[in-house]
Chain A
């Protein structure tokens, strides 16, 4: 039996409404990556993590739990779970990722911050005031919850007088750049992905990376936000040989990640199919979306080495 769709969405939506995030994550663990970077609190330009990278370890842990529940008698209890969730944060019990995994993802955010600094960008960070963008809830069609949440997020930016937002992942880029303007009147933030900012700033490489990688485009960057050249430019300038897999660029094949929250098994099957295509081209694979990264990682099975693009860029440019 698949997971009860309505109740699962219900849990996620309730979480967003009551706890400002689809999965609860403490302010401490969400902001710990910035420790030691001395980023100013708020600024005209801010780096906005959207919590995606921080959330991934939790989502991975939860979906592992869900995949276990899916097709088992426990699926029946998710419905009950939604009622309980309103009082007790049940996701917190379901999902507790190992520390090493959290550190891996935190490192990626540090990389991005270092790259931006290297490119001479002056930016701040909202620390614990930063909120999740609501991407998952948007995808699931919980529009009313999303609208209220978007207003909160925008309110926070306004509070700090933010004008320019630098995003780190495609889903958050899409939410802030393309979805929020349709939900909020007078929305005036200038939103760019850090990849776009780095190219705009003509960042120069310090080290040459003589490596061959296969690139896995994010659907959202490629087809929603038209971010197709930046990642290639940055890699090529660093001396990386970029190989294109079957289905790339505008026609990239989805990693399956978006099915994660409702159909973990389907998500896994899609990821396996994509890994098969990638490994035919090169052993090292670059991703630029935390969801692609985690979902492909599960299916990689040691056959390909996955790395977020920031790991390569930081080696070349910092």
Chain B
């Protein structure tokens, strides 16, 4: 059972950099990802939207594995700013976990 953390939702919302609300979970992003990252981004972004912070942090390696190559964005039918979202998560983790 993963607990929704409204505080995490607020932190994400405040930045305005993260926006995956248009995602319709079609999975094209995962299908075209050259890194073959199954989790990224559709599932990961849902963890963020749902406020499941622990789930997000469990996937730190995935988040830093992204090439930011935007192959997913070029194919995203909902025009989600996937690379920007990944960068946002990195910056969140840098601050929150790595204390950078």
Contacts and interface: CB of A to CB of B under 8 A. Distances in A.
Interface string B63-76: 01101111101110
Name the prevailing secondary structure of the A interface residues. helix
A159 to B, nearest CB: 29
Nearest to B99: A6
A262 interface: yes
Contact of A13 (B61, B69, B88, B100): B100
B87 interface: yes
Nearest to A145: B100
B67 A2 contact: no
B90 interface: yes
Nearest to A256: B67
Contacts of A116: none
B35 interface: yes
A257 B64 CA distance: 13
Interface string A219-260: 100011000000000000000000000000011011011110
A140 B94 contact: yes
Contacts of B70: 219, 223-224
B71 A262 contact: no
A270 B60 CA distance: 20
B34 A6 contact: no
A262 B94 CA distance: 14
A232 to B, nearest CB: 18
A21 B2 CA distance: 41
Contacts of B93: 141
A259 B35 contact: yes
A157 interface: no
Contacts of A143: 91, 94
Contact of B74 (A251, A256, A263): A251
Contact of B67 (A9, A145, A224, A258): A258
A263 B89 contact: no
A143 B93 CA distance: 11
A190 interface: no
Contacts of B89: 141
B69 A273 contact: no
A185 interface: no
A253 B71 contact: yes
B70 to A, nearest CB: 4
B71 A219 contact: yes
A140 B90 contact: yes
B98 A254 contact: no
B23 to A, nearest CB: 18
Interface in B23-63: 34-35, 60-61
A6 B100 contact: yes
B97 interface: yes
A142 B100 contact: yes
Nearest to A4: B98
A134 to B, nearest CB: 13
A262 B64 contact: yes
B64 A140 contact: yes
Interface string A136-150: 001111110100000
Q: Which of A6, A263, A270 has the most CB of B within 10 A?
A: A6
Interface of B: 34-35, 60-61, 64-65, 67-71, 73-75, 87-94, 97-100
Given A139-B87, A254-B67, 16 more contacts: A10-B100, A138-B87, A140-B94, A141-B87, A141-B88, A141-B93, A143-B94, A219-B69, A223-B70, A223-B71, A258-B67, A258-B69, A262-B64, A262-B65, A263-B64, A270-B35
25 contacts: A5-B61, A5-B98, A6-B98, A9-B94, A9-B98, A10-B98, A138-B87, A140-B64, A140-B94, A141-B88, A141-B92, A143-B94, A219-B67, A219-B69, A250-B74, A251-B75, A253-B34, A253-B71, A254-B67, A254-B71, A257-B67, A258-B69, A259-B67, A262-B65, A270-B34
